[in-house]
Amino acid sequence: MTDPTGLKAELLAVALEAAHRAGTFLRDGRPDDLGVAATKSSAVDVVTEMDIASEKLITDFLAERRSADGVLGEEGASSEGTSGVQWVVDPIDGTVNYLYGRPDWSVSIAARKDGETLVGVVHAPMRGETYRAVLGEGAYVNDVPARVRPAPSLDQALVGTGFGYVAARRAQQAEVARHLIPRVRDIRRAGSAAIDLCDVAVGRLDAYYERGLNPWDFAAGDLVAREAGALTGGRPGEPLSSELSIAAPPALFETLQGLLEDLGAWHD
């Protein structure tokens, strides 16, 4: 897809710089006594002090570089803007991992216009990797082209997933996983939806699904996965949503989607 005005190139440059600034701040500035500033959906879903500080760093930078754009951020940043461009920001995707000093966390930034995601960047500092995609121009991990793994049969698929933080939802998700595990190679749960989507893009997972995601969880990773050759969606005929999000190579996608539909993965 051509970019005659250079908009996508500009948005990519801004997203990369914002993500790397936030990633460096989070990696180098993580205090030993990291505290919990608030809670989200339950007492075990934490918002760290660094989460809030990271979002402010990103949104201040975006305001400086592209003041007319809107923002949708996980930690409350929200503005309409006048340019038609909206930034979708997760300042730390994998907050609990970050809180515990585990490496699977990322900064996720996407830019969309007229409802279409144009640019996605997922920066994972502890992995030393940055995943990026531009609509119609492919996906990359660092500077290496990203491509999904050739689709295996379902019984040979390594499938990533995640679980919510509300007890009733977790119980239903565990039931879905209980029925799914005998039908696939194995299941992985890393704790960052953005990284899971990128792991599909680079072939470290064959597929991924999860219920309960928000736009900032999947906006950037969705584009990376699609530009790397994956199909993404929710329930049959639906896009990714909080109800259900799925990513897999085309030859595996419909099989997994149909099974998840039958197992009720889309409801609590």
Binding-site residue set: 74, 90, 92-93, 217
Tell me the three state secondary structure of residue 56.
Answer: helix
Q: How are beta strands 70-73 and 78-79 bridged, if at all?
A: antiparallel
CB 92 within 8 A of CB 1: no
Residue ranges of the binding site for Mg(2+) = 74, 90, 92-93, 217
Rounded-to-integer distance, Cα 239 and Cα 133, Å: 19
Separation CA 62–CA 18 (nearest Å): 7
- Cβ pair 48, 99 in contact under 8 A: yes
Instruction: At 165, list the tokens.
Output: 């933080």
Whole-number Å distance between alpha carbons of 207 and 225: 10
